[in-house]
Amino acid sequence: MTAVDDRPTHPLSVRTLGERARAAARVLRSLPTERKAAALRAIAQTLHDRRAEILTANARDVEAALAGGLPEAMVARLNLDGRSLDAIASDVLAVSRLPDPVGETTPEVAQPSGIRVSTRRVPLGVLGVIYESRPNVTVDVAALAIMSGNAVILRGGKETVHSNAALGDAVAAALADQGLPPEAVQVIRDPARERVLELLKLDDLVDAIIPRGGAGLHRFCVENATVPVIVGGIGVVHLYLDQSFTRDSQDVQTAARIIRNAKVQKPSACNALDTLLIDRAALGALPEIARALIVDGVGLRADLESRAVLDAAGLTAQPAQDSDYGTEFLALTASVKVVSGLDEALDFIAAHGNHTDVILSRDPAQIGRFVQDVDSAAVVVNASPRFNDGGQLGLGAEVAISTQKLHARGPMALRELTTTKWVVMGDGQIRE
């Protein structure tokens, strides 16, 4: 076993990684479903077998992050333990059991010329995935790439260099044991930003770049890439509380439970609540909702009207600044804004949102308008925004949540990592 402290940066150039990935992609694209599923089962087992090495590597990253003053939210994303490693392996097994989209073919349609045309679903080819802080992404993406027949080059943040190296080694070993090219999943181990720039410009070998992180990472990729970039943008999440959901104590309790889950269950996630929009007619429910958040350490930044209600109830909130709206907090912080009804809520979300937006309402007409009018990657009715996640939506796992509209939108899983090609069948036809 390689000693974690002696783990070197990757000796190969990014171009060499791309060339090897391209060769591996040709092997993966034609693999039958069972071979891909067997590879994922082997990866899950190898994660268990190499648990000590992986956790030791992660502990080294966490120690360095704490010493370097990395923000608490980033450290939380970085940390692995035995339970989370088991969950990662379980997610890999879940992906292995998903329907394989590769090879799906539409019915042939005969044309007047006599040719018969159909489309067939095929892998994208070689993916470049750039992400921050979350070592679980290394394995999630590897599993989705393999099951969808793609090779992938992974570049995590410098704070995860040892964790990602150990996880990459585990995946490569499992692939080799299955007689598959270990170069199907490669980790860039050099933390220098120059390696990211090289990957972004490898358009002759890489088919798509998928960044997973904050707005700065997405901007950097879009501004510097010659490879097509699938972006997710920032994950500003809104929840609109309609008056109809506060007419009795049971609904208010339900609203408080949903909002607490939306903010507290995993505040560092992109689908955690950022801004609570509350109907002016529902302000009577705000103290109970806010109390459940404050008990869990959530700092509220409220506008003048909502702060007056909280003050009267003996609850403390900071005055909201304009910059608190449209901000992805990734921490135990949330903003509160009073709106005069659904129209104002829709206008506010249109100005600040595009990721996940929630309505809590008992009014079918209000719900229908919200679902129709909110133009975000996911719209949620009477449930937590934390459900906008590949695993929770039945996709097994996700590479990222795309907020753009071309190719893919929402959680990117197996189907979103494929494209289609036309298949034309003829019998000697020529075009006149």
C-alpha distances in Å from residue 132, one per residue of 74, 160, 399, 417: 8, 8, 13, 20
pLDDT digits (tens, 9 = 90+) for 3-43: 444 444 446 899 999 999 999 999 999 999 999 999 999 99
**Closest to 171 measured CA to CA, from 157, 153, 158, 159:** 153
Q: What are phi and psi of 35, to 5 degrees?
A: -65, -40
Q: Distance between CA atoms of 365 and 347, rounded to whole angstroms?
A: 17
Q: Distance between CA atoms of 270 and 400, rounded to whole angstroms?
A: 10
pLDDT in the model for residue 123: 98
pLDDT in the model for residue 400: 82
The helix/strand/coil state of 4 is helix
Q: Distance between CA atoms of 318 and 305, rounded to whole angstroms?
A: 12
Runs of H (alpha helix) within 214-269: 215-224, 249-264
pLDDT in the model for residue 321: 96
368 Cβ partners below 8 Å, 6+ apart?
none
CATH classification for the domain delimited by 4-230+412-425, as one of 3.40.630.10, 3.30.457.10, 3.40.190.10, 3.40.605.10: 3.40.605.10
pLDDT in the model for residue 11: 67
Domain boundaries, the chain: 4-230+412-425, 237-387
Q: Are 361 and 268 in contact (CB under 8 A)?
A: no
Low-confidence residues in the chain, pLDDT < 70: 1-11, 233-234
DSSP assignment letter at 103: T
Q: Distance between CA atoms of 73 and 277, rounded to whole angstroms?
A: 24
Q: Distance between CA atoms of 407 and 420, rounded to whole angstroms?
A: 11
DSSP assignment letter at 298: P
Q: Distance between CA atoms of 116 and 134, rounded to whole angstroms?
A: 47
Q: Distance between CA atoms of 420 and 408, rounded to whole angstroms?
A: 13
Q: Distance between CA atoms of 218 and 233, rounded to whole angstroms?
A: 6
pLDDT in the model for residue 5: 43
pLDDT in the model for residue 233: 60
**Closest to 239 measured CA to CA, from 269, 263, 265, 215:** 263
DSSP assignment letter at 232: -
Q: Are 168 and 187 in contact (CB under 8 A)?
A: yes
**Which pair of structure tokens corresponds to residue 330?**
């990734």
- Left if phi > 0, otherwise alpha if psi is -120 to 50, otherwise beta: which for 69? left
Domain 237-387: which topology?
Aldehyde Dehydrogenase; Chain A, domain 2 (3.40.309)
CB hemisphere CA count around 179 (13 angstroms): 3
Q: Are 198 and 155 in contact (CB under 8 A)?
A: no
pLDDT digits (tens, 9 = 90+) for 101-147: 999 999 999 999 999 999 999 999 999 999 987 899 999 999 999 99
The helix/strand/coil state of 119 is strand
